[in-house]
Structure 1
Amino acid sequence: MQRSQQPTVSVVVPTRNEARNLQVVLPAIAAVRPAVHEIIVVDGNSVDGTIETARRVLPWVRIVEQTRKGKGNAMACGFAAATGDIIVMFDADGSADPAEIPAFVQALVDGADFAKGTRFARGGGSDDITLLRRSGNAGLNGVANMLFGTRHSDLCYGYNAFWADLLPLLELPAVDAPAPGDGSMLWGDGFEIETVLACRVAAADLRVTEVPSYERERMFGDTNLRTFADGTRVLRTLAAERRRASKKTEQKDALKGAQPAARIAPAQRPTQPPVRDGQPARNGHAVQNGHAAPNGHAVSNGHAVSNGHAVANGFAPQNGFAPQNGFAPQNGFAPQNGFAPQDGLGAPRPHHRPERDTLPVPPTTEPVTAHFTAVSPTEDVTPVAGPRPAQRPSPRPVNRPAVGSDRPAPDRAAAQREAVDARYALEEEAS
């Protein structure tokens, strides 16, 4: 908020039977330089000619009559009537020094929202405070600092100044509100006004600057302050203002929680391949039958494709050949020394792989064609004469008969035996 560097100043002076003191106080305020904008005397049913005296010693003074009883109500009426940028609270008993007004104004111009006078800072002091009041003020000041997290040194001092635009935040009792019928005062209408202001300024988290001030003794008349009664009221004020601040904080938090969250547009997702069989695509390929496709190939019948060839009987092909009887071929040749496994058992494995000049034997069973087409051999397996193997193969295996549907046809079994006999005959001759 932009505020004036040369603000106008309204001085509010609450009075009740302060005619003699006003003869000194009002001319002293008017003599302050830079000059104040206005002086407002708020009278509380004085019977000693206070209003008449004020107009006589300072013709341009503004007179306002308070609407209810109590110092707090008198101050609220003066605040409502003020037209200056800054409002200064000034007691009429002569205890405050008008020459300190520029220091309060400067503190506000320098950035403070509220300038709080203190008698207990360097440069301040008091000729009027008693030991009892000093002790009571220190105790109440400590309670206030604990409840509101402040570091004030003088809670109950009435010499303060603040920017007029803060009045809505202070929420003082409306000046036109009726007084209670039982003769009591509205909350904030009594001597607790300084405490109410300090607490609400702290609760609003406003910037406060303490200004050293020296308190003189009252010049004429008797004080309207009641030590014990007003001290108890101040203590009650602290408790009540703490509850009020907590309730306002809860209301603010509730309002923040009730506000709808800002809607954020969803991020654009990359286009995904279509979903098949209720499964999302993986690796950029569609899923079939609940299985993901490895190596960029589709899945069929629940089996994955490997190296571009279909899987049969649960085994992946090797070297481009489809498996037979549940066993994968090796090096483009039928399994194990030319003998197909029977009854689910494979022939004994040789100590080394046969060379290319060994005699191949055709497979003993038909290629698996259920759901998949067997891949034909791509290598040339025609018998070729060549050097004999480096060492003898393992002993001739026992050729057990096949069981069930794996039994080979008679003519094919005979062909197998003849081929094996011919092979071993050649190897015996060579050795």
Structure 2
Amino acid sequence: MSPDITQHGVKPQFATLRSLPAIDRYTPLGPHLAIAPTVSVVIPAMNEAENLPHVFATLPSWVHEVVLVDGNSADDTVAVARRLRPGLRVVRQRGRGKGSALAEGFAACTGEIIVMIDADGSTDGREIIRFVGALVSGADFAKGSRYLAGGGSDDLTISRRLGNSMLRMVVNLVYGTRYTDLCYGYNAFWAHHLPVLDLDCDGFEVETLMNIRAARAGLRVHEVPSHERCRIHGTSNLRTVRDGLRVLRTIVREWRREPRPAPSAGATPVADKGAA
């Protein structure tokens, strides 16, 4: 849970949270809010040395660990990351592609909650509290949406917007979901649900695969408004047509695949919309 901690009806200040006898195992998020679960943040990166100072500056101080998955960068990505965050965990990616990077990063996490963000500056680490809030309030999987009130994008071209909308409509029709966004890389989930997500793809279709498998497993999915920003430096490896076809093939493949049930059955497969 995410308790708004009170004692005799009076909300304590930040300085008194740790002084309460039963609070030692909680992580303070603010003056009146603390959580018990530990949070790991996974950042796949390849040649993102120029962007990492901005990305790391947005990460909350209460994050338990940051796992950087380095896709064999030719620049100083790893050195910059280690300088910015002492205690950083670095995973040298063995495979290729974003899907492979995330799978390897997730496997290295020790936190009870896993959050995935991008290394190009398009996702804001200050929004992590929204995703964690959704999970500790009862969700199994928190997915970012650029289309909810409070969300948005500075980087969606007409072709990307159209492709995302068409693919989202197909997923909602085939799988009975009510997702407002599909191909977006800001998501969070409880680590014990990793087996049902069972990532086995290499590319940008990974977000769609996670959304489909979360729904098919009966996980309670909560959509969180998120604002996508433009990449700060460098160019994206995303190719709209090529990667759109990969997403479509993933949708068809998953439709033919036997779903793997979640450890706890009975949760709704549709998305709850709104901020936590």
CA distance in 2, matches of 1:20, 1:107: 31
Q: Is structure 2 residue 108 aligned with structure 1 residue 66?
A: no
**Residue type of the alignment partner of 1:240:** R
1:204-215 → structure 2 map (5 Å cutoff): 204-215=217-228
**Residue type of the alignment partner of 2:219:** L
1:86-97 → structure 2 map (5 Å cutoff): 86-97=113-124
Specify which structure has the higher proportion of strand: 2
What's 1:7 paired with?
37
Answer yes or no: is the 8 Å Cα contact 2:150–2:225 preserved in 1: yes
What's 1:356 paired with?
none
TM-score (norm. length: structure 2): 0.80
Answer yes or no: is the 8 Å Cα contact 2:148–2:225 preserved in 1: yes
**Paired residues, number:** 228
CA distance in 2, matches of 1:98, 1:23: 12
What's 2:192 paired with?
165
TM-aligned CA deviation for residue 57 of structure 1: 1.7
TM-aligned CA deviation for residue 27 of structure 1: 2.8
1:336-415 → structure 2 map (5 Å cutoff): none
TM-aligned CA deviation for residue 224 of structure 1: 1.1
Q: Which runs of 5+ in 1 are unaligned?
A: 174-187, 250-431
1:77-116 → structure 2 map (5 Å cutoff): 77-116=104-143
What's 2:75 paired with?
48
TM-aligned CA deviation for residue 72 of structure 1: 0.4
What's 1:19 paired with?
49
What's 1:201 paired with?
214
CA distance in 2, matches of 1:67, 1:241: 25
**Residue type of the alignment partner of 1:36:** V
Q: Is structure 2 residue 233 aligned with structure 1 residue 233?
A: no
1:211-290 → structure 2 map (5 Å cutoff): 211-245=224-258
Structure showing greater relative contact order (alpha-carbon pairs closer than 8 Å, 6 or more residues apart): 2
Structure 1 consecutive aligned stretches of length 4 or more whose deviation exceeds 4 Å: none
Answer yes or no: is the 8 Å Cα contact 1:203–1:245 preserved in 2: no
Q: Which runs of 5+ in 2 are unaligned?
A: 1-25, 27-34, 262-276
The 3-state SS of whatever aligns with 1:19 is coil
**Residue type of the alignment partner of 1:147:** V
Identity %: 58
Answer yes or no: is the 8 Å Cα contact 1:10–1:86 preserved in 2: yes
The 3-state SS of whatever aligns with 1:221 is coil
TM-aligned CA deviation for residue 59 of structure 1: 2.1
- Greater Rg, structure 1 or structure 2? 1
CA distance in 2, matches of 1:204, 1:195: 14
CA distance in 1, matches of 2:228, 2:36: 27
Aligned alpha-carbon RMSD (Å): 1.4
Answer yes or no: is the 8 Å Cα contact 2:199–2:206 preserved in 1: no
Answer yes or no: is the 8 Å Cα contact 1:27–1:58 preserved in 2: no
TM-score (norm. length: structure 1): 0.52
TM-aligned CA deviation for residue 245 of structure 1: 3.5
**Residue type of the alignment partner of 2:130:** A
Answer yes or no: is the 8 Å Cα contact 1:114–1:208 preserved in 2: yes
TM-aligned CA deviation for residue 49 of structure 1: 1.3
CA distance in 1, matches of 2:87, 2:198: 30
CA distance in 1, matches of 2:149, 2:81: 34
What's 1:38 paired with?
65
Answer yes or no: is the 8 Å Cα contact 1:117–1:213 preserved in 2: yes
